[in-house]
Amino acid sequence: MLLLFGGFGLILLAFWIFCIFDVLTTDAQETRALPKLFWLVIVLLLPDIGSILWVLFGRPRPPWELWRRPPATVASAPDDDEDFLRGLQARVEEQRRKAREQQQGDDT
């Protein structure tokens, strides 16, 4: 029984230390709900409850979003891009103009 509670206590201690470092290393603009300093005070003064509150409500990404993948970006072909096609057409016309000028210069 002592081993069970001792092991659980070590897990809680490790979780508390993780949360302290997580609060310290999280960017202040990314914390949710409260300012970073308040989260640090809560986690330090209320080790178990404060750590759970930090993970659920303070971290930049809540735990239920950790396994969610970001939406996949759809790769588009270059010929789907209007700006690319306009630039390509302009380059083709410029090359044709230069070829005509060069051909006219060779004819004279």
- Distance of alpha carbon 53 from alpha carbon 92, whole angstroms: 61
62 or 6, greater pLDDT:
6
Tell me, yes or no, if the pTM score tops 0.75. no
- Residues contacting residue 22 through CB under 8 Å, at least 6 positions apart: 54, 59
pLDDT in tens, 32-74: 999 999 999 999 999 999 999 999 999 987 666 766 666 666 6
Contacts made by residues 88-96, CB under 8 angstroms, sequence distance 24+: none
User: What are the residue boundaries of the structural domains of the chain, listed by start?
Assistant: 2-65, 78-107
- Distance of alpha carbon 22 from alpha carbon 93, whole angstroms: 58
Q: Is 91 exposed, middle or buried (0-12, 13-18, 19+ CB in 10 A)?
A: exposed
Given a cut of 70, whether residue 2 has pLDDT beyond it is: no
Average pLDDT over residues 73-82: 71
